[in-house]
Chains A and B, each alone.
Chain A
Amino acid sequence: MDTQIILIGLAGVLASSAPIVFATIGETFAERSGVINLSLNGTILLTAMAGFAVAVTTNSLFLGFLAGAFIGGLVALIVAFSSITLKQSQVAVGFILALTCRDLAYYLGNPFMGLQGPRVPSLPIPGLADIPIIGVIFFQQDVLVYASFLLIIVSYVFIFKTRPGLMLQGIGEKPATAFVRGANVNRMRYFYTVLGGMLAGLAGPMFSLSVKAGWKGTISGLDGFGWIALALTIFGGWNPLRAAFGAYLFGLLQWLGLVLQPSLPNIPSQVLQVAPFPLMILTLLLVNIGNAEWVDRTLAALPEKTRKGLANVLRALRTSPPASLGVPFENE
């Protein structure tokens, strides 16, 4: 294969993964604070439709993205209100919203199906874009892709290197301790859940105004990305860098599926498109199995050398959720 084609392909992987990066990092913020927002799949579909509809009607890309962030934040607010204030099951409310927002998107998006809409223009960065190899992959993108690079770095630094970030870790791990040290746990959980929802709400217009421009109802091919983002949050171990790595890996697999398609004429394209899902289960198995009790027991029975080697591998892969993920907090 031509090198140029490979480079453009890799640039495409970075671009098509950008919405997943946004959604996954948004969910990472929410879950770091202790709240699971399971509505992601519905959020992405609804904001993709709404962002497109607003951009078409007003002819403003900016308003399209604003609508996405607003609706994403609103959906997350329902999750936060029902779980933090009303103490209802986060998983139940999130699941209901995932389905309801999807149906809302299909219902309200009906008149906008197949319309021609504005599209985020590509914006090569002068100077950097001409660097061989790197320039093509990284610097001939649109502004959203640059924003996704920035988001990865900023959110990583925020969570692990700043005081508010440490506080965020605290309210997800040991909310009682954080509360004693002056954190308003529930208010912060509201804030990060809504912030996460707004980031996920940008993912929708990123699809419908850039990566998969347009709105085509049920055949838009966007159903499923939200669930992927939720799985990638776990795969990423609630760390933006690792989560972004997962998102790019997933994008790469999807691209490989497309590239390999012509050489595998017996396999329908729909099959290759879902190839990442079994891999998703496998990776979740790899990152979780180290937490299982029977693994410890089995390892203990092995000879010293094998045991240490295996234990190290499992430890490197393993991720553990924030200790209070999904647990309501009462300050009494």
Chain B
Amino acid sequence: MTMMKTSSRWSGIGFQALAVLLALAFTTVVMLISGADPLQVYQNIITGALGSPTKVDDILVAWTPLLLATAGLLLTFTAGLWNIGIEGQITLGAIFTTWALRVLQPTDLPPTLIVAVGFLAGALGGMFWAGLVGLLKIFGNVNEIFGGLGLNFVATALTIWLIFGPWKRPGVGSMSGTEPFPLELWLPTLPGFRLSPLALAMGIIAIAIVYILLRGTYFGLRLKAVGRNGRAAFLMGIPTTRYMLMAFLLCGLMAGLAGATQVLAVYHRLIPSISSGYGFLGMMVAMLVNYQALWAAPVALFFAALNIGSIQLPIVLKLDSSLSGVLQGSLVLFVLLMDGVRRRLTRS
């Protein structure tokens, strides 16, 4: 028995390595089709990600919201829910944070307190949007994928309306966003860098909390039961709908905090694409690590590095930076496919 287990673990690793190779091969073929020199592209991505302390700083800045989003998604995935609405939840978090700051800015409250209220408002905004998806699902039978998608579009429209309407810059509104907040409302950063240690700590704490919740608590155990077989869990006396709603709200909370850090620590204002796609990227991370919290943090770091590394592709090589998305997507796809192949081979 133990021998079989070790051999299946080794074969699992073998198939995963094969999946990574296939993803690299696929991405290389895509590069060749576009007429680019793959070696040059990979080299550019690596230097673009690790070439200087500023770049590494950028990776950590991108890692923070991705960690928060992934942490939240691990909870909804565990409950068997597809929270595609996470993009909108990040956006609503950013909107609520901006709102709180705008209201409190003219008062003579200490800036630290205003920033704290900003975080709180962001968390509430994310929970509000996630709660809507949950209520639509539980009481309206609207599949969370479509409820969430619809609300994503609504959140984007709301952002644009605010930027061009009620919150527009003095003079004329523009796609560059709202008027930046004064320096005292920026989350403190390391001298000379963009990274806010406080925001990063929040991301790491979030993923750690989710790890502990899913690993060793009664709540996590019941959440898993709901995700595996909702009907059976219900018959066993677990209030399934309450657990599903709880998963949505907790995910919304973390997504909202991600939106809040985008406003307080990165952009210092509201911009049209404030979520930067970190919600969907978080879904990819969660799928790639097979919904296991332990591996989520390093994989999220790697994905953040790919994103940062590809930023200079358009400037240096005249290639579109969406190449990083192709590599990330094909990694997740091939890992899933190879997992299916391995299961099929071991079954027969």
A residues sitting closer than 8 Å to B (CB atoms) are 38, 78, 82, 85-89, 91-93, 95-97, 99-100, 102-104, 106-111, 217, 224, 227, 230-231, 234, 266-268, 270-271, 273-275, 277-278, 280-281, 284-285, 288-289, 291-292, 294
Complex interface: chain B residues within 8 A of A288 (CB): 140-143
Complex interface: chain A residues within 8 A of B139 (CB): 289, 292, 294
A281-B136, A281-B146, A284-B142 given as contacts; is B336 within 8 A of A92 (CB)? Answer: yes
Question: Whole-angstrom distance from the CB of B284 to the nearest CB of chain A?
Answer: 7
A87-B344, A92-B287, A93-B336 given as contacts; is B160 within 8 A of A99 (CB)? Answer: no
Complex interface: chain A residues within 8 A of B341 (CB): 86
Verify A278–B150 contact, CB threshold 8 A.
yes
The verdict on B283 contacting chain A, using a C-beta distance below 8 Å, is yes
| Interface stretch (choices B100-108, B295-303, B325-333) | B325-333
Complex interface: chain B residues within 8 A of A289 (CB): 139-141
Question: Whole-angstrom distance from the CB of A18 to the nearest CB of chain B?
Answer: 22
Question: Which of A87, A92, A103, A109 meets B326, CB within 8 Å?
Answer: A103
Question: Which of B142, B146, B150, B157 meets A270, CB within 8 Å?
Answer: B157
| Interface stretch (choices B54-62, B109-117, B208-216, B315-323) | B315-323
Number of B interface residues in the complex (CB < 8 A): 48
30 chain-A/chain-B pairs, Cβ below 8 angstroms: A82-B336, A82-B337, A87-B344, A88-B340, A89-B336, A92-B336, A95-B82, A96-B329, A96-B336, A99-B280, A100-B326, A100-B333, A102-B322, A103-B323, A106-B320, A106-B322, A107-B319, A107-B325, A107-B326, A108-B34, A110-B34, A217-B320, A266-B165, A270-B161, A271-B160, A274-B156, A275-B157, A277-B154, A284-B150, A288-B141
The verdict on B179 contacting chain A, using a C-beta distance below 8 Å, is no
The verdict on B42 contacting chain A, using a C-beta distance below 8 Å, is no
Verify B147–A281 contact, CB threshold 8 A.
yes
Chain B facing A: main interface SS: helix
A104-B326, A107-B322, A268-B161 given as contacts; is B136 within 8 A of A285 (CB)? Answer: yes
Q: CB-defined interface of B3-27 with A at 8 Å, one 1/0 digit per residue? A: 0000000000000000000000000
Report the bound CA distance from A99 to B84 in whole Å: 12
Verify B157–A274 contact, CB threshold 8 A.
yes
Verify A277–B153 contact, CB threshold 8 A.
yes
Question: Whole-angstrom distance from the CB of A315 to the nearest CB of chain B?
Answer: 14
Which residue on chain B has the smallest CB distance to residue A36?
B145
The verdict on B202 contacting chain A, using a C-beta distance below 8 Å, is no
Complex interface: chain B residues within 8 A of A102 (CB): 322, 325
The verdict on B343 contacting chain A, using a C-beta distance below 8 Å, is yes
Question: Which of A95, A234, A274 meets B84, CB within 8 Å?
Answer: A95
Verify A87–B82 contact, CB threshold 8 A.
no
Given contacts A86-B337, A103-B329, 15 further A-B contacts (CB under 8 A): A78-B333, A89-B336, A95-B82, A96-B284, A102-B325, A106-B320, A107-B34, A107-B322, A108-B34, A110-B320, A227-B146, A270-B156, A274-B156, A278-B150, A284-B143
The verdict on B195 contacting chain A, using a C-beta distance below 8 Å, is no
Which residues from 156 to 173 on chain B have a C-beta closer than 8 Å to any C-beta of chain A?
156-157, 160-161, 164-165
Report the bound CA distance from A87 to B145 in whole Å: 21
Complex interface: chain B residues within 8 A of A97 (CB): 329, 333
Complex interface: chain B residues within 8 A of A100 (CB): 325-326, 329-330, 333
Verify A96–B332 contact, CB threshold 8 A.
yes
Complex interface: chain B residues within 8 A of A284 (CB): 140, 142-143, 146-147, 150
Report the bound CA distance from A109 to B323 in whole Å: 11
Chain A facing B: main interface SS: helix
Verify A291–B141 contact, CB threshold 8 A.
yes
B residues sitting closer than 8 Å to A (CB atoms) are 30, 33-34, 82, 84, 136, 139-143, 145-147, 149-151, 153-154, 156-157, 160-161, 164-165, 280, 283-284, 287, 318-320, 322-326, 329-330, 332-333, 336-337, 339-341, 343-344
Which residue on chain B has the smallest CB distance to residue A81?
B337
Report the bound CA distance from A278 to B332 in whole Å: 31
Question: Which of B33, B146, B153, B287 meets A96, CB within 8 Å?
Answer: B287
Complex interface: chain A residues within 8 A of B322 (CB): 102-104, 106-107
Complex interface: chain A residues within 8 A of B330 (CB): 100
Complex interface: chain B residues within 8 A of A231 (CB): 146, 149-150
Verify A281–B150 contact, CB threshold 8 A.
yes
Complex interface: chain A residues within 8 A of B82 (CB): 91, 95
Complex interface: chain A residues within 8 A of B326 (CB): 100, 103-104, 107
Question: Whole-angstrom distance from the CB of A26 to the nearest CB of chain B?
Answer: 18
Question: Which of A82, A91, A217, A285 meets B145, CB within 8 Å?
Answer: A91
Report the bound CA distance from A152 to B142 in whole Å: 26
Complex interface: chain B residues within 8 A of A38 (CB): 145
Complex interface: chain A residues within 8 A of B324 (CB): 103
Which residue on chain A has the smallest CB distance to residue B314?
A110
Complex interface: chain A residues within 8 A of B157 (CB): 270-271, 273-275, 277
A281-B142, A292-B139 given as contacts; is B333 within 8 A of A96 (CB)? Answer: yes
Interface centre among A87, A107, A280, A285, by most B CB within 10 Å?
A107
Question: Whole-angstrom distance from the CB of B191 to the nearest CB of chain A?
Answer: 36
A271-B161, A281-B147 given as contacts; is B153 within 8 A of A224 (CB)? Answer: yes
Verify B149–A227 contact, CB threshold 8 A.
yes
Report the bound CA distance from A278 to B165 in whole Å: 20
Which residue on chain B has the smallest CB distance to residue A42?
B329
Complex interface: chain B residues within 8 A of A104 (CB): 30, 322, 326
Report the bound CA distance from A42 to B242 in whole Å: 34
Report the bound CA distance from A204 to B283 in whole Å: 26
Verify B146–A234 contact, CB threshold 8 A.
yes
Complex interface: chain B residues within 8 A of A227 (CB): 146, 149
Question: Whole-angstrom distance from the CB of A285 to the nearest CB of chain B?
Answer: 5
